[in-house]
Structure 1
Amino acid sequence: MSRKTSLFAGLLVAAASTFALGASAQGGLPVKGGNWAGMVAETSGGHLLGNPKAETKLVEYMSYTCSHCASFSRTGDAALKMLYVPSGRMSFEIRHLVRDPVDLTAVLLTHCGEAKKFPGNHEAFMARHDSWMAKARKTTQAQRARWQFGSLGARFQAIASDLDFYDIMEGRGYSRVAADKCLADEAKANALAERSRADIEAHGISGTPSFMLNGELLDGTHAWEDLQPQLDKAL
């Protein structure tokens, strides 16, 4: 068994246990006036919003199956996009720490299409987080078994079907065929999972959301009220 296969096998086992219990830059130059809010570039582990050459760089390490990440998306994301990123003084990168196959399925779908679509896809999944996570916790043994057999694409499609991910994507303008094409991208799935593992090992990240500011992991910072004062000081 290869290391990549072992990685996914481990993720699948973790998910079954958990739920049984309960690029390139898009958009060209900044708009006139120096507003960087619309700039989005895909990175090796996620997406960067704003000026890629900003002096202050914030990275969020997040997971879609993390309730605290969903809470941060409802508080910090909007403030960052409206008050911090547009000036070009700070960039905001969202990177993925893949915890389980449900998480990776959501990651692949949020990455579906051009980089500039990511922020809207990300917001759509976070907005319905409570709903689809409730469904995940109520899945039957038979449903979870479907998540562990067949090709990776087939497993991700089963998850997407059981948790209403196709409905979320339809609301974003994606057909089921388009969504399935993204879910079948095994090379991207492998790359994102490997990047996640490397980030965890390199930075000693133990939980989500975690934040890195100008290359330094912020200890004890997992919510907007903890992060904001540190951003203001850095700026």
Structure 2
Amino acid sequence: MTKRSVKLALALGVTALAGSAVAVVAQPGQNWTTTVVERDNGHLLGNPEAKVKLVEFMSYTCSHCADFARDGEPAIKLAYVPNGRVSFEIRHLLRDPIDLTAALLTHCGDPAKFAENHSAILHAQDEWLAKARATTQAQRSRWQFGTNGARRQAMASDLGFYTLMERRGYSRVALDRCLADETKAAALAQSSQADIAAYKLTGTPSFVVDGKLLDGVFTWSALEKALGSRF
């Protein structure tokens, strides 16, 4: 399987603000499944002090990332994260404006909501990508004019993101506020570019374990083997 090429189509000039890590103290027999720490514009699920640290670099417009969300993420959350031996961090490798729009929505509100927001958007990918392919010229024009927030709000409306997130308990006002957050948008873009440079990333999904990029690992079956060698 070959990686899909990276394409950053974001023209953002705002200085990003990096998030700070949150200290988490382990408790005896703790189940780490619901622990979520937001840091440096990514979300870490599980024990921040885990022996094995897994990071996925993903894109919402990447079909292979949706495959991994269906095949790999449930297994990781069920078999690896609960006992605290493996942490799983999800980071964004932004490829296009739709990708950024989806990322802003997954980050909307309490960090504890991220994992389910992330899964909801990826599990519905086939539906909203079909809508993207069927957009009219008039719709695409709305994506290209006006403020960045207005463009992203138009995408969210045309692709059904509002409906999806409202089912998750969000109000339209809250979603509009997140989509218009230029500071967060710039921070996500800057983190994406920094990660590409730091790890020499060329596509999505890419996986890093304990600080090392796993060459040739793009699927859950391949990642499962790589994780197995750590124990």
- Tell me if TM exceeds 0.5: yes
Secondary structure of residue in 1 paired with 2:53: strand
For the pair 1:83 / 2:76, whether they are aligned, the reply is: no
CA distance in 2, matches of 1:225, 1:59: 16
Which of 144, 158, 166 in structure 1 is aligned with 2:140? Answer: 144
CA deviations on 1:198-227 (whole Å, 9 max, x unpaired) are 111221111100000111100010000000
Q: Does residue 93 of structure 2 align to residue 97 of structure 1?
A: yes
Matched, 1:8 2:42: no
Cα shift at 1:180: 0.5
**In the alignment, which residue of structure 2 is the partner of 1:125?**
121
Q: Across the two proteins, how many residue pairs are aligned to each other?
A: 218
Tell me, yes or no, if the aligned pair for 1:148 and 1:155 is still in contact at 8 Å. yes
Q: Is the 8 A contact 1:56 1:214 kept in 2?
A: yes
| Cα distance in 1, alignment partners of residues 27 and 172 from structure 2 | 33
Secondary structure of 2:10's aligned partner: helix
Aligned to 2:15: none
Which residue of structure 2 aligns with residue 42 of structure 1? Answer: 38
Question: Which deviates more, 102-111 or 194-203?
Answer: 194-203
- The answer to whether residue 155 in structure 2 is matched with residue 159 in structure 1 is yes
Amino acid at match of 1:8: L
Q: CA RMSD in A?
A: 2.0
Question: RCO (CA 8 Å, sep 6+): is it higher in 1 or 2?
Answer: 2
| Aligned equivalent of 2:226 | 230
CA distance, structure 2, for counterparts of residue 46 and residue 146 of structure 1: 29
Letter matched to residue 220 of structure 1: G
Deviations 1:20-65 (A, max 9, x none): xxx6778x76676221111001121310000111121000000000
Q: Which amino acid aligns with 2:159?
A: L
For 2:49, the equivalent position in structure 1 comes to: 53
Contiguous gaps of at least 5 residues in structure 1: 1-5, 11-22
Q: Displacement, 1:151?
A: 1.1
Taking structure 1 as the reference length, what is the TM-score of the superposition? 0.88
Give the letter for the 2:170 counterpart. Answer: Y
Are residues 163 and 7 of structure 1, via their aligned partners in 2, closer, same or farther at CA, if it must alter by over 3 Å?
closer
Distance 1:32 1:121, change over 3 A: farther
Structure with the higher helix share, 1 or 2: 1
8 Å Cα contact 2:9-2:95 kept in structure 1 = no
Amino acid corresponding to residue 137 of structure 1 in structure 2? R
- 8 Å Cα contact 2:9/2:97 also seen in 1: no
Identity, in percent, stands at 60
